[in-house]
Amino acid sequence: MRLSILMPIYNEENTIKEILRRVKEANVKNINDKEIIIINDGSTDGTKEILENIEQPGIKIIHLNKNRGKGWAIREGMKSVTGDIVIIQDGDLEYNPDDYNDLIQPIIVDGYEVVYGSRLLNKDNEISYFVYSFGGRLLTLITNLLYHSHITDEPTGYKVFKTNVLKSIDLKCKKFEFCPEVTAKILKKGINIKEVPIRYSPRKISEGKKIRWYVGLDAIWILFKYRFVD
């Protein structure tokens, strides 16, 4: 089986080399091949120049001419996916590619179609800022109430899909609303989301964290919107 790693990035000159190294070195049982698709979402720092010097087999780099958002970048990257399984990988170092094996085996071995990495299921993880931690729990609660699900970490960055399942979702997202939109549409299809514990190393805003508290308000709107609109 082939694994496709979608990596939307924006202004990650300080982390792109290290996260790429970790992704390349990640070992996954039953995976014969990996492709890494990096979508440079109009970075204005030195990210583009770093990527232009990367010429390695199995790595495809897509440069967008301006910053449009994570959701848009993922949608663009999906056009190039050729693997059987897709995982979303942020360009920072908050999520650890050493968790790939645990994330992907439920799809290969147990037949699940979607797997989320749950930060809350790993009690050793640090929490991010209180407002982010609270917001994530609130989004998860709203998701479970609206869609009758039982997940613990809706806004997790580690989301894994069978490629045909993700491609069957008519995504409209442009920015951070990718997470609530894809979750809502997966659950409305009646697809069970399997969760596994993952490691999480939150970074600070001063270190480049981009998401802000008000993104949660958009996420709540998206969850309600797609509960009642196709």
- Cα(140)–Cα(143) distance, rounded to whole angstroms? 5
To the nearest 10 degrees (0 to 180), the angle between helices 215-228 and 178-188 is: 20
Specify the amino acid at residue 191: I
Nearest CA to 70 out of 35, 43, 99, 34 is that of 43
pTM, two decimals, is 0.93
Q: What contacts 130, CB < 8 A, 6 or more positions away?
A: none
Q: Domain extents for the chain?
A: 2-228
**Of the options 3.90.550.10, 1.10.260.40, 3.90.870.10, 3.30.365.10, the CATH number for the domain spanning 2-228:** 3.90.550.10
Task: Output the pLDDT for position 54.
Answer: 87
The 3-state DSSP class for residue 137 equals helix
Query: Residue range 211-224: average pLDDT?
Result: 85
Task: Output the pLDDT for position 216.
Answer: 83
Mind listing the pLDDT tens digit for each residue in 169-216?
999 999 989 999 999 999 999 999 999 999 999 877 666 666 666 778
Q: Which helix (H) or strand (E) holds 158?
A: none
